[in-house]
Amino acid sequence: MRKNAIVTGASNGIGQAIAKKLNKDNYFIYAVDVDDANGKKLVNELGNENALYVHCSISCETDVSDLYNEIKDKNANLEVLVNNAGIIKDNLIHKMPADDFDAVIDTNLKGSWLMCREAAKMMKEQKCGRIVNISSRAWLGNPGQSNYSASKAGIIGLTRVLALELGRYGILVNAIAPGLIDTPMTQKLPDDVLEKLINAQPTKTIGKPDDIANTVSFLVTESTQFITGQVIYVDGGKSIGANLTV
């Protein structure tokens, strides 16, 4: 029986790379997003026999419930959940509207929690499963990102708790903390700003979405049976050598 994977935020950037990689690994992909145009484009590329696009706002409990009911209606198992969807609304704290804090927490943290809750119910019955939560190196703290960093720190805490709760059922839960990755968002940065960020990396390079996708692939493979509750940094060493030069 073919295995199934949910990838949230699958329409663009890192999520799209994850969806394509897991499809190559022979998973049927439930590509979850609110970007209908790019989500449908992805499914057309992968083929209807390999993927299904589902419009779902992960911060909406009803949308999430409907998504999982759709999978259950197909009498399908769920082997993998990748929580990648997220938003950014940066500002210094004294300039940040409360609505911007709420929006980021609702999508990045509450949305991931809602997805994990429903996945846990299915995977617990199956006695197996893999959950990978995409956090960020920013959970360590970035100026102007009190909302985003808090949401990503929350994902680390969520990951650790779920690893403790679900391990006895054969469910492994891990987090990936990407650093500077070449995505549509970073491509919009001014050249001088991007160059400065790259030079702050110990590797003096920028990561690719495939770097994250390959790490997800490693964590969900059947041969990886004894890794859970961990945070894997894919950040060119920035988390251990921020702004240091030698």
Q: Is residue 62 part of a domain?
A: yes
What is this structure's pTM? 0.94
* Residue located via tokens 């992909």: 29
Domain membership flag for residue 196? no
Closest CA to 206 of 193, 224, 217: 193
Q: What is the pLDDT of residue 241?
A: 66
Domain encompassing residue 223: 3-181+207-234
Mean of the per-residue pLDDT values of the chain: 94
Which tens digits make up the pLDDT trace of 50-93?
999 999 999 999 999 999 999 999 988 999 999 999 999 999 99
Residue 192 in contact with residue 218, Cβ under 8 Å? no
Of 121-130, 178-187, 188-197, which one has max mean pLDDT?
A: 121-130
Q: What pLDDT, in 10s, does the model give residues 89-119?
A: 999 999 999 999 999 999 999 999 999 999 9
Q: Are 12 and 31 in contact (CB under 8 A)?
A: no
Say which residue, 202 or 163, is predicted with more confidence: 163
- Cα angle: 110, vertex 113, 118; to 5 degrees: 130
Give the catalytic positions in this structure: 148
Predicted confidence band of residue 18 (pLDDT cuts 50, 70, 90): very high
Give mean pLDDT, residues 10-16: 97
User: Is 77 in contact with 125 (CB distance < 8 Å)?
Assistant: no
246 within some domain = no
Confirm whether 239 is domain-assigned: no
Q: What is residue 245's predicted lDDT score, i.e. its pLDDT?
A: 45
Q: Evaluate if residue 126 carries a pLDDT over 80.
A: yes
Instruction: Look at residue 200 in the predicted model and tell me its pLDDT.
Output: 84
Do the domain assignments include residue 26? yes
Give mean pLDDT, residues 1-7.
92
Q: What is the DSSP string of 137-201?
A: GGGG--TTBHHHHHHHHHHHHHHHHHHHHHGGGTEEEEEEEE-SB-SHHHHTS-HHHHHHHHHTS
| Other Cβ atoms within 10 Å of 139 Cβ, number | 22
CB neighbour list of residue 11: distance below 8 Å, 6 or more residues apart: 31, 33, 35, 37, 38, 39, 41, 42
Domain assignment of residue 228, yes or no: yes
C-alpha span between 99 and 97 (Å, rounded):
5
How far apart (Å, rounded) are the C-alpha atoms in residues 111 and 81?
Answer: 13
**CATH number reported for the structural domain that contains residue 137 in this entry:** 3.40.50.720
Mean pLDDT computed over 13-19: 97
Predicted confidence at residue 246, as pLDDT, reads: 42
Contact between residue 199 and residue 242 where contact means Cβ atoms under 8 Å apart: no
**Domain total of the chain:** 1
Cβ–Cβ contacts within 10 Å for residue 191, how many?
7
Question: Is residue 74 situated within a structural domain?
Answer: yes
* 81 secondary structure, DSSP code: E
What is the predicted pLDDT for the residue at 187? 86
Instruction: Answer yes or no: is 191 within a domain.
Output: no
Nearest CA among 125, 132, 94 for reference residue 217: 132
Residues 94/144, Cβ–Cβ less than 8 Å: no
